[in-house]
Structure 1
Amino acid sequence: MLSYDELTPPERELWEAFPEGRHVDLRTGMPEDDRVDGGGQWDAGRTVRAAVIVALLLGANTPQPGAVSSLTLAGARISGRLNLAGAQIAHALRLEDCWFEEGVDLSGASTQSIAIVGSRVPGVEAGLIRVEGRLDLRHSRLECGSAPRLHRWATALSLSNAHVSGAVNLSGAEITAPEEWAVSAGGLVAEGGVYCVDGFVAHGEVRLMGAQLPGGLHMPGAQLMGAGPRGVALALDNAVASTLDFSGGFIANGSVRLRGARISDNLTFEGAVLNGPPDGDGPSLVALLMQAVDFDFTLARPPSGPVDLRGAQVSYLHDSERSWPDVVELDGFVYGSIKVAEAGERREAVGLRDSVAQRVAWIRHSPGYSPQPYEQLASWYRKAGHDDDARRVLLAKQRHRRRTLPLTTRVWGHLLDVTVGYGYRPWMAGVWLLALTLLGTLSFGTHSPNPVQRGEGARFQPLVYTLDLLIPIGGLGQRTAWYWSNDGLQWLAYLLIGFGWVLTTALIAGVTRTLQKN
Structure 2
Amino acid sequence: MLSYDEMTPPERELWDAFPEGRPVDFRTGVPGDDGVAEGGQWGSGRTVRAAVIVALMQGANPAQPGDMAGLRLAGARISGCLDLSDAQLGQALRIEECWFEDPPNLHGASTRTIRITDSRLPGLDAGLVRVEGHLDLSRSLVAGCLNLLNASVTGELLLNGTRVCVSEGWAVIADGLGMGGGIFCMHGFTARGGIRLRGANLPGGLFLQGALLERPVPLGRPGPGGVALALDDVAASTLNLSGGFTANGTVRLRGARVSDSLTFEGAVLNGPPDGGGPALAGMLMQAVDFDFTLARHPSGTVDLRGAQVSYLHDNNHSWPDVVELDGFVYGSIKVDEAGERREAVGQQDSVSRRVAWIRRSPGYSPQPYEQLAGWYRKAGHDDDARRILLARQRHRRRTLHPAARVWGHLLDMTVGYGYRPWLAGVWLLALTLLGTLSFGTHTPTPVKRDEGTPFQPLVYTLDLLIPIGGLGQRTAWYWSTGSLQWLAYLLVAFGWVLTTAVIAGVTRTLQKS
TM-score, with length taken from structure 2: 0.98
Cα distance change on mapping 1:64 and 1:265 into 2, 3 Å? same
Q: Write the letter of the residue equivalent to 1:429.
A: A
In structure 1, distance between residues paired with 2:167 and 2:407: 58
Q: Which amino acid aligns with 2:470?
A: G
Q: Which residue of 1 aligns with 2:176?
A: 187
Equivalent of 1:362 in 337, 351, 357:
357
Residues 73-152 of structure 1: pairs in structure 2 closer than 5 A: 73-144=73-144
The SS at the match of 2:167 is strand
Deviation at 1:3, TM superposition (A): 1.6
The CA distance in 2 between the partners of 1:340 and 1:178, in whole Å, is 41
Residue 75 of structure 1 aligns with an amino acid whose one-letter code is: G
Q: Does 1:50 align with 2:50?
A: yes
**2:157 maps to amino acid:** V
- Tell me the TM-score normalised to structure 1 length: 0.97
Superposed CA offset, 1:414-447 (max 9, x none):
0001111000000000000000000001111111
Amino acid at match of 1:260: G
Q: Residues 252 and 276 of structure 1 are in contact (CA less than 8 Å); yes or no, is this contact kept in structure 2? A: yes
Q: Is the 8 A contact 1:227 1:255 kept in 2?
A: no
> Contact between 2:419 and 2:510, CA under 8 Å: does it hold in 1?
no
Counterpart residue number, 1:273: 268
Q: Percent identity?
A: 73
SS in 1 for 2:436: helix
Does 2:189 match 1:200?
yes
Among 328, 331, 335, the residue aligned to 1:333: 328
Which consecutive residues of structure 1, in runs of 5 or more, have no partner in the other structure?
145-155
Residue 516 of structure 1 deviates from its aligned partner by 4.5
Comparing 386-395 and 506-515, the one that deviates more? 506-515
C-alpha distance in 2, partners of 1:316/1:207? 27
Q: Distance in 1 between matches of 2:282 and 2:508?
A: 33
Q: CA deviation at 1:210?
A: 0.3
Q: Deviation per CA, 1:111-166, whole angstroms, max 9, x where unpaired?
A: 0000000000000000000000000000000012xxxxxxxxxxx10000000000
Report the Cα distance in structure 2 between the residues aligned to 1:282 and 1:64, rounded to whole angstroms. 60
CA distance in 2, matches of 1:453, 1:281: 80
Amino acid at match of 1:231: G
> How many Å apart are 1:513 and its aligned residue?
3.3
Distance in 1 of aligned mates of 2:317 and 2:156? 34
User: Take 1:381 and 1:16, find their aligned partners in 2: how far apart are those partners?
Assistant: 73
Counterparts of 1:506 and 1:202, CA distance in 2: 61
Give the structure 1 partner of residue 456 of structure 2: 461
Look up the match of 1:420: 415
Aligned pair count? 507
Q: Which aligned runs of 4 or more in structure 1 are off by greater than 4 angstroms?
A: none
Letter in 2 for 1:113: T
Q: Distance in 1 between matches of 2:228 and 2:510?
A: 46
**Deviations along 1:63-98, whole A, 9 cap, x unmatched?**
111111110000000000000000000000000000
Deviation string, structure 1 residues 361-420 (Cα, Å, up to 9, x no partner) = 111110100000000000010001111110111001000000000000000000001111
The alignment's C-alpha RMSD in Å is 0.9
Residue number in structure 2 paired with 1:157: 146
Q: Distance in 1 between matches of 2:180 and 2:217?
A: 27
1:172 aligned to which of 161, 179, 183? 161
What is the distance in 1 between the residues matched to 2:183 and 2:487? 78
Q: Name the amino acid aligned to 2:463.
A: D
1:104 and 1:506 mapped to 2: Cα distance? 76
Shift of 1:7: 1.1
Structure 1 residues 517 and 126: alpha-carbon distance in aligned structure 2, compared to 1, 3 A threshold: farther
Matches within 5 A, 1:296-375: 296-375=291-370
**1: CA distance between counterparts of 2:498 and 2:470?**
17
